[in-house]
């Protein structure tokens, strides 16, 4: 087996944790039943790598078989690495009728025209997502399978999720995507995160939405039935109002696990007690980053417990509304009400 | 401004009403769950985040026998919220019907100055200052027992004892060397 293929297998073995190995190999299905049975999964990773290497040599596997194994693992465990979202704009008339076979052929042919040596693998996942694995090479070197780019796209939606894409590869990928999905422009959607399912759910609003109602929300009534009748909350109504407004802004139930939100401020410094800073012409540049294991859950709790004022400020509620977590905030121009900032972009 | 008045209503038979005021709204819930398990008399617990209380509940609210301010010493806002709520309390309450309970006094995140401020506050108002541990069920039970002792007197369920009489014994005092730096 070629050296590069061996290294690819070693990299895959490093990626896959021991407890997932058996199931992933079974899903891959390229080993015979006897070969699968002969592997002792209790041995160390290093020993297992040697065993798998010998079986792959026996079966005369090439790079394309191994990349299939890697892809199966990544498709089932997408919540690693950093995913960025790109957005397709200006669809042409036939953009809504692009279907899978056409997309696959177009994408492969366009990318191969742009890059001489490139290895592309396209698969459709059970939830209709199209997964693309790209190993990049150039005019003089073969594709590098140790640093593949993964792209996830739901046909007929404008979002494209990418991971592991360098700035040199980005224009090539963008061009191929535009031509194969029949759009005219592509831009950065300003949304990123480690958890692919979370950013996808956020963009496609696959979490429980709460709509404004005039009658008391069922959330407040649920709480009262389980507590003791001797215990009474004095401020139950304002608390229920706060909870309702927080859920309206962020959603009810379990929320997608976003890890951070970054606000880049390019606003002028405002503090009347500090004349030297306020007199400067240039904006006071500063970056505010909110980080948490589940940011939307934390923000919703801040609003419902009164830490953040309700109704929820548009600076926070536009994270789920617009599906972004990177904002650039500039002043809206001089005026008497210059205390408010307007998010732009 | 609507003040909470101690004697504006008639007392209930064999029952006591306690109001727990806490900005974080955490410890008060666990205290309430244990307080209502008292069997010798009925304990009605009312929970609030801060005072003044909403006007809508004015009619249905019974006579409050004891107001407990729960202060989390790791948070400055907790102390400030309690201080601000004091203004909405009728002065009649400060004759033994108000109690301060502080949590997390041993925590490294709680500066010693804040405990001193809480102590001085309780001492200036002639109220008891109780220390509680809110993370374990034992801590909650202990805190509940101490509150019940004061509540029974404040509700008039203990013969020959009034809350003013009890407050002479339980009120917090400031040690004379509070301004001196302490050794940790």
User: How would DSSP label each residue in B29-82?
Assistant: HHHHHHHTT--SSEEEEEEESSSSPPGGGTTT-----EEEEEEETT-HHHHHHH
CA separation, residue A138 to residues A31, A108, A133 (Å): 33, 16, 16
CA distance B21 to B19: 6
Mutation target to probe the A interface, by most A beta carbons within 10 A, among B4, B12, B17, B57 is: B57
Please state, in angstroms and rounded to a whole number, the distance separating the CA atoms of residues A337 and A318. Answer: 21
Looking only at the bridges linking them, the beta strands covering B129-132 and B98-103 are parallel
Q: Cα–Cα distance between A284 and A267 in angstroms, integer?
A: 6
Phi, psi angles (nearest 5°) of residue A171: -60, -30
Round to whole Å and give the CA distance between B87 and A101: 73
Residue A336 per-residue DSSP state: T
For B164, counting Cβ atoms within 10 Å of its Cβ (0-12 exposed, 13-18 middle, 19+ buried), the class is middle
CA distances from A49 to A18, A32, A43 (A): 11, 17, 10
B46 vs A233: CB contact, 8 Å cut-off? yes
Interchain CB contact of B19 with A (< 8 Å): yes
pLDDT for B183 beyond 80:
no
Query: Which residue among A230, A235, A306 places its CB closest to the CB of B45?
Result: A230
ipTM exceeding 0.90, yes/no: no
Q: Is A17 exposed, middle or buried (0-12, 13-18, 19+ CB in 10 A)?
A: exposed
Answer whether A177's CB lies under 8 Å from A160's CB.
Answer: yes
- Among A224, A231, A239, A241, most B C-beta atoms within 10 A, so best to mutate, is A231
Instruction: Give the Cβ contact number of residue B128 at 10 Å.
Output: 19
Nearest CA-CA partner of A261 in A186, A206, A313, A208: A313
Report pLDDT for A30.
86
What is the rounded distance in angstroms from the CA atom of residue A31 to the CA atom of residue A59? 8
Contact A231 B47 (CB under 8 A): yes
Test mutation, A227, A229, A235, chain B, max B CBs within 10 A? A235
Q: What is the pLDDT of residue A337?
A: 27
Cα(B126)–Cα(B170) distance, integer angstroms? 9
Q: Which helix (H) or strand (E) holds B19?
A: strand B15-22
pTM for the model: 0.78
Give the per-residue pLDDT at A220: 52
Q: B138-157: per-residue pLDDT in tens?
A: 999 999 999 999 999 999 89
Q: Which class for A88: exposed (0-12), middle (13-18), buried (19 or more C-beta within 10 A)?
A: buried
CA distance A135 to B89: 72
Q: Which residues have CB under 8 Å from B50's CB, separation 6+?
A: B21, B23, B81, B84, B85
Measured distance CA(B97)–CA(A24) in Å, rounded: 67
| CB proximity B37 to A under 8 Å | no
Residue of A nearest to B18 (CA): A231
pLDDT, tens digit only, all 345 positions of chain A: 788 888 889 999 998 988 888 889 888 888 888 888 888 888 888 898 888 888 888 888 888 888 999 999 999 999 888 999 999 999 888 888 888 999 999 999 999 999 889 999 999 998 889 999 999 998 888 899 899 999 999 988 899 999 999 999 999 999 999 999 999 999 999 999 999 999 999 998 888 888 877 765 555 555 555 567 888 888 888 888 888 889 888 988 889 999 999 999 888 888 778 877 777 788 888 899 999 999 999 999 999 888 888 888 888 988 998 888 899 988 773 322 223 333 433
Residue A330 preceded by cis peptide, ω within 30 = no
Q: What is the mean pLDDT of chain B?
A: 89
Range with the lowest mean pLDDT among A35-49, A173-187, B91-105, B116-130?
A: A35-49
Which residues have CB under 8 Å from A221's CB, separation 6+?
A: none
Inter-chain residue contact B53 with A237, CB threshold 8 Å:
no
> Please, which residues 99-118 of chain B have a Cβ atom closer than 8 Å to chain A?
none
What residues in A contact B32, CB-CB < 8 Å? Answer: 228, 231
Here the tokens at position B153 are 């007197």
Residue A230: the pLDDT is 85
Q: Which of A236, A244, A251, A162 is nearest to A201 (CA)?
A: A251
Burial classification of residue A6, based on how many CB atoms lie within 10 Å of its CB (0-12 exposed, 13-18 middle, 19 or more buried): middle
How far apart are the C-alpha atoms of A65 and A291, rounded to whole Å? Answer: 39
């Amino acid at each position: 087996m070629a050296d590069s293929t061996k290294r690819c297998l070693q990299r895959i073995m490093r990626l896959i944790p021991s407890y997932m190995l058996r199931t992933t190999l079974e899903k891959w299905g390229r080993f015979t039943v006897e070969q699968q049975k002969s592997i002792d999964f209790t041995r160390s990773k290093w020993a297992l790598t040697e065993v798998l290497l010998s079986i792959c040599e026996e079966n005369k596997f090439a790079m394309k078989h191994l990349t299939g194994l890697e892809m199966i693992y990544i498709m089932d465990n997408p919540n690693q690495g950093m995913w960025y979202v790109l957005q397709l704009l200006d669809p042409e008339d036939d953009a809504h009728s692009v279907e899978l076979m056409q997309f696959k052929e177009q994408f492969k042919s366009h990318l191969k025209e742009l890059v001489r040596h490139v290895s592309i693998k396209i698969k459709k996942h059970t939830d209709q997502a199209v997964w693309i694995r790209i190993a990049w090479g150039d005019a003089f070197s073969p594709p590098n399978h140790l640093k593949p780019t993964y792209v996830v796209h739901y046909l007929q939606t404008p979002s494209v999720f990418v991971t592991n894409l360098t700035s040199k590869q980005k224009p090539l990928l963008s061009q191929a995507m535009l031509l194969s999905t029949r759009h005219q422009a592509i831009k950065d959607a300003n949304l990123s995160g480690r958890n692919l399912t979370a950013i996808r759910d956020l963009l496609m609003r696959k979490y429980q939405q709460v709509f404004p109602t005039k009658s008391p929300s069922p959330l407040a009534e649920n709480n009262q039935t389980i507590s003791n009748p001797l215990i009474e909350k004095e401020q139950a109504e304002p608390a229920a109002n706060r909870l309702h407004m927080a859920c309206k802004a962020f959603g009810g139930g379990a929320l997608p696990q976003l890890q951070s939100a970054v606000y880049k401020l390019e606003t002028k410094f405002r503090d009347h007690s500090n004349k030297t800073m306020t007199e400067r012409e240039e904006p006071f540049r500063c970056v505010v980053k909110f980080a948490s294991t589940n940011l939307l859950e934390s923000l919703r709790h801040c609003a419902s417990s009164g830490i953040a004022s309700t109704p929820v400020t548009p600076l926070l509620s536009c994270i789920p509304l617009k599906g972004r977590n990177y904002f650039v905030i500039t002043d809206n121009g001089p005026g008497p009400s210059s205390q408010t900032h307007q998010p732009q972009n | 401004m609507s003040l909470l008045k101690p004697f504006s209503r008639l007392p209930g038979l064999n029952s006591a009403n306690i109001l727990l005021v806490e900005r974080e709204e955490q410890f008060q819930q666990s205290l309430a769950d244990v307080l209502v398990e008292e069997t010798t008399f009925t304990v009605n617990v009312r929970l609030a985040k801060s005072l003044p209380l909403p006007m809508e509940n004015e009619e249905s609210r019974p006579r409050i026998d004891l107001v407990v301010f729960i202060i989390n010493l790791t948070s400055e806002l907790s102390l400030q919220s309690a201080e601000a709520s004091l203004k909405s309390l009728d002065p009649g309450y400060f004759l033994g019907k108000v109690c301060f309970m502080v949590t997390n006094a041993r925590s490294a995140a709680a500066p010693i100055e804040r405990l001193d401020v809480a102590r001085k506050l309780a001492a200036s108002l002639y109220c008891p200052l109780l220390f509680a541990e809110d993370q374990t069920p034992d801590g909650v039970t202990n805190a509940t027992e101490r509150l019940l002792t004061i509540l029974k007197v404040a509700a008039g369920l203990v013969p020959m004892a009034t809350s003013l009489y009890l407050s002479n014994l339980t009120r917090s005092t400031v040690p004379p060397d509070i301004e001196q730096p302490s050794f940790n």
